[in-house]
Amino acid sequence: MKRREFFAAAAALLGGAYAAGEGTPPAGDAEAVKRLIADYYDVFYRKRDVEKYRLLLTDDYRLLENGEIFDAAGDIATMPGPRSRYERSDRFDFRQVRVDGSFGYAVYFLDSDITDEKHGAQKRRWLESAIVRRERGAWRVAILHSTRITATG
């Protein structure tokens, strides 16, 4: 067997194992999913760019938050306005990111420092999960479920 044929056969075998779910996805996919989640918040709360935000979502996107289910239009309706004095910084603690072909999910804690006119400065924490799907060559958020963690005691 010639060298070129060997490498072609090895690549086909590895590609087939990955497609069958037997291999591990490229490490870049997990990092791309993490970046998508960070961009999701950055574009929504800091840049407040509806068009760019919409590009981060699947057509059938759903947000599950505070016991309610929002579609993209309902979610976007809550975006702070361009003149709002809303400021936010976010930190993510990813506990698990899994990718299988064109689907994946992430489980993470989100810690945010928020300042707005109504409530002043506050710290918030959530446990979240996101289901993502690769569409048109890019990772997009299909479902995001957010559970706010409140201090006890």
Please tell me which residue, 14 or 151, carries the higher pLDDT value.
151
**Range of weakest confidence among 19-23, 61-65, 108-112, 114-118:** 19-23
The pLDDT value recorded for residue 91 is: 98
Residues in CB range of 148: below 8 A, 6 or more apart: 66, 124, 125, 126
In this predicted structure, the answer to whether residue 39 has a pLDDT above a threshold of 80 is yes
Q: Is the pLDDT of residue 24 over 70?
A: no
Mean pLDDT, rounded, for 67-91? 93
Domain ranges of the chain: 27-149
Q: Is the pLDDT of residue 66 over 50?
A: yes
- pLDDT for 26 equals 60
What average pLDDT score do residues 24-28 get?
A: 63
Residue with tokens 């309902």: 74
Give the integer Cα–Cα distance in Å for 97 and 9: 30
For range 17-43, the mean pLDDT: 76
We find that the CATH architecture of domain 27-149 is Roll (3.10)
pLDDT at position 4: 47
Using pLDDT thresholds of 50, 70 and 90, give the confidence band for residue 117: confident
Q: In what order do the strands lie in the sheet with 138-149?
A: 68-70, 57-65, 138-149, 120-135, 103-116, 87-100
Residue 1: predicted pLDDT: 46
User: Exposed/middle/buried for 133, CB within 10 Å: 0-12, 13-18, 19+?
Assistant: middle
Q: Across the chain, what does the average pLDDT equal?
A: 86
